[in-house]
Amino acid sequence: MYLGAEKIWRGEAVRLRIGATGTDLMVVTDIIEQVLVNPPTTKVIAIGDVYSYATLDAPDANLPPKPPQQNNNIPSRMVHDMVWRNRMLVPLTRTAAWWKLIQPAYKIDIDDIKGRWYETSLVFQEPFAKAVKNGEGGNGIWMNSRGDATGKGKGASVAQPDRIGAFGASVPKGTRVVEGLDPPSQPVGQQQQSHDGMDINMGGGNMADPFSIDEFMHVDHLGDDAGMEYGGNNNYTF
């Protein structure tokens, strides 16, 4: 399903509003839409395992400790990112970080999801290195969450029947969103298509390499996550 500007898949990690630290993650296993008749409302629930960032003492940098939990259900993205973090954390802080399972098969309202989780190794390399060297740890880097820009935050979700309805006035009138991976053909010089199927009006002239948001946010090179399923798309957007 789409949550704001982000597409949430089963099998990936999302950031949560709940929890004492505000940095807990959920690996989504199911997204359930409940349609209530009286009054007519839509409620969406996410189900998944909740993980918290934890650390262990690592006095010997050449022999870091193994986490007490060995969980094969953690997506490879999270595993690889923690390995990357520990390459700096262990020698500089004598601690090793790991993802601690704190609540399996937990249910939360869709409003309790801040947004998708992104690897520190991809988007926060510099802030992470600075925080570790300053003795500030390596998991408190702030990231914009859904609703922060408007100040509405939690409770702002409104189900929309399609993407255009969700975009509202943020896109030009006449914008089309097309389902599928292949964009429809357009006359050369009039419109170029981004790879996600949204019409982007490029004005006059020809552009050999149109901008693609899919390429900009490409993370497929990190490998397939265990348990990742490409189920049917839910057109409801929040």
Do 165 and 155 sit in the same domain of this protein? no
Whole domain around residue 96: which residue ranges?
2-159
Q: Rounded to an integer, what distance in angstroms lies between the CA atom of residue 67 and that of residue 85?
A: 15
**Does residue 235 lie in a domain region?**
no
Max CA pair span of the chain: 64
Q: Rounded to an integer, what distance in angstroms lies between the CA atom of residue 149 and that of residue 167?
A: 15
**Does residue 238 lie in a domain region?**
no
Query: Which structure tokens are listed for 37?
Result: 């008749």
Q: 21-30, 93-102, 150-159, 164-173: which range is least confident on average? A: 150-159
Phi, psi of 237, deg, nearest 5? -125, 145
Whole-number pLDDT of residue 76: 92
Q: Rounded to an integer, what distance in angstroms lies between the CA atom of residue 11 and that of residue 146?
A: 20
Q: 62-66, 133-137, 164-168, 190-194: which range is least confident on average? A: 190-194
**Does residue 105 lie in a domain region?**
yes
**Does residue 191 lie in a domain region?**
yes
Host H or E run for residue 215: helix 213-216
Q: Rounded to an integer, what distance in angstroms lies between the CA atom of residue 65 and that of residue 63?
A: 7
Residues 98/28/148/164 CA torsion (nearest 10 deg): 150
Classify residue 94 by its DSSP letter: S
pLDDT in tens, 198-237: 443 433 334 344 434 444 344 444 444 433 333 334 444 5
Whole-number pLDDT of residue 204: 38
Whole-number pLDDT of residue 157: 72
- Highest mean pLDDT: which of 84-93, 175-184, 200-209? 84-93
The answer to whether residue 82 scores a pLDDT higher than 90 is: yes
**Does residue 138 lie in a domain region?**
yes
Kindly indicate the confidence band of residue 73, based on its pLDDT and cuts at 50, 70 and 90: confident
**Does residue 232 lie in a domain region?**
no
Whole-number pLDDT of residue 1: 86
Host H or E run for residue 98: strand 95-109
Whole-number pLDDT of residue 166: 82
